[in-house]
Amino acid sequence: MIQQKTLYLPQFRRGFHLITNIIERELGDLPETGLVNLLIQHTSAALTLNENADPDVRADLENFMNKLIPENHPAYKHILEGSDDMPAHIKSSIFGASLTIPVTNNRLNLGTWQGIYLCEFRNRGGSRKIVATIFS
């Protein structure tokens, strides 16, 4: 059986945000076993799995990505939507738009220290939509 839901995230500031609790709450009851695929429907934000305990990891990721992919680089041609837009597209491509997570015993089967991150790469990205497809 396949189910699909659209999840709506509130607006987050630029950065890496732990959203595991939001995703779990919005998904509701899960099957005994299966898979959940999460697809963020945006080209300037991403999803990833990473450290869920120490918030310094999220700050370090933000700082490193901003140094690796700076704003106002002279090679950018896509500049009409603001200095944060083209870097956001590059970062989104690096991190990716989807995650697939196994479901075991009616729960997302994440590792002990794993959490789902919203990677918000725009200064004012607005609310974000995620399509969740649940396979059982």
Tell me, what CATH number does 7's domain have?
A: 2.60.120.460
- At residue 8, the pLDDT reads 98
From the list 47, 9, 5, 23, the residue with the least C-alpha distance to 107 is 23
- At residue 47, the pLDDT reads 98
Q: Give the C-alpha separation, 83 to 80, whole Å.
A: 8
From the list 113, 133, 111, the residue with the least C-alpha distance to 23 is 133
Structural domains of the chain, count? 1
Tokens representing residue 50 in the block: 């990473």
Q: Give the C-alpha separation, 110 to 64, whole Å.
A: 25
**Residue 118: which domain range?**
2-135
- At residue 101, the pLDDT reads 98
3-state secondary structure of 15: strand
The residue count for the chain: 136
Q: Provide the residue-wise pLDDT of the chain in tens; the chain has 136 residues.
A: 999 999 999 999 999 999 999 999 999 999 999 999 999 999 999 999 999 999 999 999 999 999 999 999 999 999 999 999 999 999 999 999 999 999 999 999 999 999 999 999 999 999 999 999 999 9
Q: Give the C-alpha separation, 117 to 18, whole Å.
A: 5
Amino acid at 119: C
Q: Give the C-alpha separation, 71 to 69, whole Å.
A: 7
